[in-house]
């Protein structure tokens, strides 16, 4: 058995201030016994405009945000899932929204680039988002081995595409980690429903760190970071503001549920590429 924690923040305009807040919360979660800690999407910067992240982009495997993640993982002896950070893309006018995974030695063991980009107008509001204007989309899913089981990583808007997680389940995913920055409106409508659905469909744990609160750029995010078990039970939830959730992750629980309720084995409908 291990403990996972999901950090919730209301990140602002200053990278240095956000890293100070992240370090404080990560340290608190580690003291509470967390073996793996996950940060939310855009934890290091919620800029005044979407283009601000381009100014803060880092070259892959170089830069202060990446050094911060590696150092804190090594210092605390934890596995760390680094939300998303802006990495340089081939197009100099865009970044890659990359989620980096570090082991307890501070070594980077994986990188996931956000696949689905949030290009939407939020119903019944004046909010519009066009992530494809500033982000180059990723191309492949990520499932990796860890001491805690098979980890799958996705980001925010990915949550709405169940075929992605079916593919990941086919690769043995035990625990889905999904750093997010859900808006207040879409979060209130769909966040918990989608998280619990992904857990139930794939009989896996879901660890969901979210941005939660009012941001200096005028945006409001939903919060309610949570950890959900393979039966869809919410084990912990942090509603708003900065903090974290923490819960036990039991591989035996996954094995027991999958053995008694073998949905993944019973699946009969297959789609190309899934």
Indicate if the pLDDT at residue 118 is higher than 80: yes
Q: How many folded domains does the chain comprise?
A: 1
Residue range 57-76, pLDDT digits in tens: 999 999 999 999 999 999 99
Residue 185 lies in a domain: yes
Does residue 273 belong to any structural domain of this protein? no
Burial class of residue 264, CB neighbours in 10 A (0-12, 13-18, 19+): middle
Inside any domain, residue 109: yes
Q: Which of 21, 41, 58, 192 is catalytic?
A: 41
Residue 225 sits in a domain of what CATH number? 3.60.110.10
Backbone angles phi, psi at 19, to 5 degrees: -70, -35
pLDDT, residue 274, reads 54
Establish whether 156 is a catalytic residue.
Answer: yes
In a domain? residue 79: yes
- CA 159 vs CA 118, 120, 193, 221: distances in Å: 11, 15, 11, 16
Domain that holds residue 193: 2-266
Say if 35 falls within a structural domain. yes
272 assigned to some structural domain: no
Which of 114, 131, 141, 192 is the catalytic position?
114
Cβ burial 211-227 (10 Å sphere, 16+ → b, else e) = bbbebeeebbbbbbbbb
Tens-digit pLDDT profile for residues 178-223: 999 999 999 999 999 999 999 999 999 999 999 999 998 889 999 9
**Structural domain includes residue 274:** no
Confidence of residue 266 (pLDDT cuts 50, 70, 90): confident
- Is 114 annotated as catalytic? yes
Residue at 32 is within a domain: yes
99 as an active site residue: the answer is no
Query: What percentage of the chain exceeds 90 in pLDDT?
Result: 88
Q: Are strands 95-102 and 119-121 parallel, antiparallel or unpaired?
A: unpaired
């Amino acid at each position: 058995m291990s403990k996972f924690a999901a950090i919730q923040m209301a990140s602002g305009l200053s990278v240095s201030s956000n890293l100070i807040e992240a370090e404080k919360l990560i340290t608190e979660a580690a003291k509470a016994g967390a073996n793996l800690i996950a940060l939310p999407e855009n934890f290091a910067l919620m800029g005044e405009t979407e283009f601000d992240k381009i100014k803060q982009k880092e070259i892959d495997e170089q830069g202060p945000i990446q050094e911060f993640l590696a150092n804190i993982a090594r210092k605390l002896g934890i596995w760390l899932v680094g939300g998303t950070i802006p990495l340089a893309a081939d197009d100099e006018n865009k970044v890659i929204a990359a989620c980096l995974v570090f082991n307890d030695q501070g070594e980077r063991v994986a990188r996931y680039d956000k696949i689905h980009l949030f290009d939407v107008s939020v119903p019944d509001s004046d909010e519009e988002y066009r992530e494809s204007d500033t982000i180059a989309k990723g191309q492949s899913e990520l499932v990796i081995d860890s001491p805690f089981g098979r980890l799958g990583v996705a980001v925010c808007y990915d949550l709405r595409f169940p075929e992605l997680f079916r593919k990941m389940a086919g690769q043995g995913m035990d625990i889905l980690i999904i750093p997010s920055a859900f808006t207040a409106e879409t979060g209130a409508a769909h966040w918990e429903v989608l998280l619990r659905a992904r857990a139930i469909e794939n009989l896996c744990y879901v660890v969901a760190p979210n941005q939660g609160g009012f941001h200096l750029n005028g945006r409001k995010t939903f919060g309610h970071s949570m950890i959900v078990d393979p039966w869809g039970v919410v084990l912990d939830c942090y509603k708003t503001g900065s903090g974290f959730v923490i819960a036990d992750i039991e591989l035996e629980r996954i094995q027991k549920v999958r053995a008694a309720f073998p949905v993944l084995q019973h699946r009969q409908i297959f789609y190309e590429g899934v």
